[in-house]
Structure 1
Amino acid sequence: MNSESVRPYVTEAAQKYNVDPALIEAVIKQESAYNAGARSHVGAQGLMQLMPETAKELGVENSFDPRQNVMGGAKYLSQLMKMFDGNLTKVIAGYNAGPGAVSHYGGVPPYAETQDYVAKVLKNYEDFKS
């Protein structure tokens, strides 16, 4: 898949969950590089790399289905936006490290992986915005 092929799902999810489509695309690019069949070493699945339990909570039955995955990931981003009052850095960190870690540290946790992830997603976001 590529940006163009996922755009209909991104647009639908962005409208349904009131999330900037550029943010959804930025996360997809970083999480899976548009690989709908992606599976991480910790078990995250699909375009937006949803963990199985999180996917279930979000109503996603098949994380490898591009539409379901994007809808679930956007719903999760929407929940994080509410939780962190729209603070994009905290939202992105929460998507990667979990909202509990962000709340515990009051911002981006001191994990190298999460700090790198936040920087890359923010750069992707700026690229998609322009």
Structure 2
Amino acid sequence: MPQEARAQPVHDKAKRDATEKTIAKKLGQRSESVCPLLDEIAEKAGIPPLFFARLIWQESRFRANAVSPKGAQGIAQFMPGTADLRGLADPFEPKSALVASAAFLADLRKEFGNLGLAAAAYNAGPQRVRDWLSNELVMLPAETRKYVAIITGRLPQDWRSGANDSELTHKPVTPDDSACARLVQVLERGAPDLETAPSAPWGVQVAGHFSKAKTIAQFRRVQRQFSSIIGDRKPILRRERNLSLGRRPTYQARLGAPSRQEARKLCDRLRAAGGVCIVLRN
């Protein structure tokens, strides 16, 4: 959510409810009506429609009357101060909010150089990202790091290190580049954002974290770094509890192998190239 600090008034609930009823008739609440609007606005702003769809879904689940605990408003979750700066009169009017959101993202991409950093600035605020880029002691909020990974499939560090927009790892879920509606169905089901492989007797673990999004982002980074070894292989994504790490389950990305010997060969190649891995029975 764009976060320019400013005290925000509480939007009148009755007005919000009336606005939502109007929106439900005009645009609907979900993909059938929101997606064509998203596609059209994104293309006019020059940003990828699926990137825009993922970001807006993450912000509000396409709910035009959404209000966050911090006071961000509407389908694009504008803070009132940011809405004023962007000339947005009513954050709860979805079309104008989406137009303002897409224009804001286009400006952020122009300033920061790629969509990943634009997403970070949309969530944490442009000044926080400027500070982070100019000072290694500054950290992005954990919420922002997770946000960027969910939307782009890569961590903010990757985008800071020079990843470009062609390296967005989330692919359309159908051959149609305007697959927003299908995307929403996938997201609503909680389906993985990574195409995975069926289980195998043995695995070479190359990524793991408490966060599924960070595990996926780590795997993508390892896959890119060691592309000559991993290629386009799909990982086995597991969720397990390791009591040595506490009671929280962790997500693990492993490359499958038919035998322990084959798994060790693969892990040895990765280690020889500077990678880190461990061989485990699945």
* Shared fold, TM over 0.5: yes
Q: How far does residue 11 in structure 1 lie from its aligned partner after superposition?
A: 2.4
Contact 1:109–1:115 (8 Å) recurs in 2: no
Instruction: State the number of aligned residues.
Output: 128
What RMSD in Å do the two structures reach over aligned CA positions? Answer: 2.0
Query: Could you tell which deviates more after superposition, 99-108 or 88-97?
Result: 99-108
Report which of the two has the higher share of strand: 2
TM-score, length of structure 2 as denominator length: 0.42
Q: Which has the higher mean CA deviation after the structures are superposed, 32-41 or 5-14?
A: 5-14
Q: Distance in 2 between matches of 1:109 and 1:31?
A: 22
**For structure 1, which runs of at least 5 residues remain unmatched after alignment?**
none
Q: Is the 8 A contact 2:128 2:140 kept in 1?
A: no
Letter in 2 for 1:114: T
Amino acid at match of 1:106: L
Asked if residue 120 in structure 1 is aligned to residue 163 in structure 2, the reply is no
Larger Rg: 2
% of aligned pairs identical? 38
- Structure 2 gaps of 5+ residues are 1-28, 154-167, 174-282
Aligned position for 1:35: 63
**Residue 113 of structure 1 aligns to a residue in which SS?**
helix
Instruction: Name the amino acid aligned to 1:120.
Output: I
* 2:86 pairs with one of 58, 78, 92: 58
TM-score of the two chains, using structure 1 as the length reference = 0.87
Distance 2:130 2:144 in 1: 14
Mapped partners of 1:104, 1:47: distance in 2: 28
> Please, which of 79, 82, 86 is the counterpart of residue 110 of structure 2?
82
Decide whether the 8 Å contact of 2:112 with 2:118 is kept in 1: yes
Aligned with residue 53 of structure 2, among 25, 40, 62: 25
Distance 1:126 1:65, change over 3 A: farther
Q: Which has the higher helix share?
A: 1
